[in-house]
Amino acid sequence: MKKYKTIALSLLLGFSLAACSDFLEFEPYGLEGSTNFWKTEEDVEKALNAFHEFTYQEGVTGRGFMWFENCSDNMVTGRSQSEAQAIKDFQMTPENGRDQKDNWPWMYRIIARANDVLRNVPDMSISGSVKNRAIGQARFYRGFSYLWLAPWYGDNGVNGGIPIVTEKTPTAEIDQPRPTSVLANYDMIIEDMRAAADLLPYLSEMANEDYGRPHKAACWAFAARAALYASQFDAKYYDTVIEMCDKVMGMTGADKRGLYPDFARLWREENNFCEEYIFSLLGNAVEGPKFHGMSFENGGWGLYNTWGYFQPTLELYNAYEAGDERRDATILYPGDHIQFVGQDVTWAVGSWATSSTSGLTWRKFMSPWENADCIGKKVNSNMNNASNVLGTCLIRYADILLMKAEALIWKNGEGDSEAKSLLNQIRKRAGLPENSQATKVQLKNERRCELAFEFQPSRHLDLVRWHDAQEAYAKPLHGVKTTTNPDGSFNVQEVEIWPARTFNPNVNHVFPIPAKEVANSKNLKQNVY
């Protein structure tokens, strides 16, 4: 693909546009004031750029909801942290201080900004193309923000969905009660994404400096994800999953999506916008998401301050079939080599001993840290920031194939011929025989191995919606302990690293809403916990 410039992440530092900049603080609409803003196309551009401010918030695109994903059987915390342990053991309280709590106010801030655009832009005297783009992006980011939150906090039972606020909600009524079902949220997300797709361009129609902004395929892809999550409550949504995936798969010409041939090299800066790209959050060596730098060896042996959180389990490592090229592209096992800040690291051996509680770590997103001169060029020189040039993938073409295959299997039954073909495309790229029988067990494992440790989607949410979490979490988790001998050889021993846990599917399928958000509201009901 053509060269690109990332969106300027610092455009609106300190610029507060939002209509109700923090939903639960109930600030009035239009902080800039309708008489001072919403006059020119430049005002509209400022409003659209404001949607991206969340991308460099550590509690949102650093650890954030990874504290919840850490509940899965794919990983353990990696470091001793009592509040993280409470989350993983399903003993979390609303007062938990981990930065997962930042996501609720930030997403409602983005929702408020989207609603501000939708309240004001339709009546502006500006070009039709700018107006359509603005309305389309606002619908996208509103649906996107609800989808960011709803799966973690909403259900179709005793708790209900999360509060719905639109451009039509009067200021005095912003403190909305929760809908009775999260399906109301998923319906709204799908509706917003459909409307956004009608207004937004194809990726091929966008200027390269706009890469990273939403486009048609991203709208359809996130609509498919919303429908997939809704399908756990009502199977009719599988039809929407298939419909939305078909829209992405049916694109032609410059917009045709496909699997990048080499899974290991997919995770490199030059492939941020390859044929597999659908939507990512962008950064650089100055600012951006911190996710990629949080998981490698704590302190990085003094070379770079990676954070050591969320380390892979032996259960995940062993989930890969023999010959699956994704395993070694995803996980470092003792004795494996990786280039890190110009050094040839032999993982967990000798002077490269690890403090990881699992004895393993992730390779998948470490390409920005390869070269000796990477600091300040590819990764942030502020080692407490860890922003970097690799896009933080939220959804890609492989996920489209997996979502459609799942919908076909759950709708038509195991052995569906099209589902076999879709899964075999995934397997072929992984270097595996194209022999999938499209069973539910096979679909679940392909999804686990293909998408492991990506910022979205979530293995934990998958286990919950498949009703597999209770059984999976009743088993202890394992890692390895490496001992280096005086002659340089080393021994690897399997060890238990996390005990079996109790998961109550009637309670632990959602997490407590941050206490501050409930305290600031008269109508927001806390989840049962």
Tokens describing residue 376: 């300040």
In angstroms, the CA 54 to CA 144 distance is 12
Tell whether 277 is covered by a domain. yes
Q: Which residues of the chain have pLDDT under 50?
A: 1-6, 8-32
Tell me how many domains the chain contains.
Answer: 1
What is the pLDDT, as a whole number, of residue 509? Answer: 99
Residues paired with residue 279 on neighbouring β-strands, in sequence order: 395
C-alpha distances (whole Å) from 164 to each of 175, 180, 183, 364 are 9, 11, 12, 36
What is the pLDDT, as a whole number, of residue 33? Answer: 52
C-alpha distances (whole Å) from 411 to each of 162, 190, 236, 407 are 28, 20, 9, 6
CB 248 within 8 A of CB 400: yes
Tell whether 266 is covered by a domain. yes
Tell whether 399 is covered by a domain. yes
Tokens describing residue 103: 């996501």
For the entire predicted model, the pTM comes to: 0.95
Residue 260 belongs to domain spanning: 235-282+391-450
In angstroms, the CA 272 to CA 203 distance is 13
Residues paired with residue 395 on neighbouring β-strands, in sequence order: 279
Tell whether 496 is covered by a domain. no
Tokens describing residue 111: 């929702």
Tokens describing residue 182: 């999260």
CB 226 within 8 A of CB 193: yes
Longest dimension (CA), the chain: 77
Tell whether 409 is covered by a domain. yes
Tell whether 278 is covered by a domain. yes
| pLDDT tens track for 74-105 | 999 999 999 999 999 999 999 999 999 999 99
The Cβ-side half-sphere exposure at 18, using a 13 Å CA radius, reads 27
CATH number at residue 274: 1.25.40.10
Q: Give the 3-state secondary structure of residue 362.
A: strand
Q: Among the residues of 250-287, which ranges form H helices?
A: none
Tell whether 378 is covered by a domain. no
Tell whether 458 is covered by a domain. no
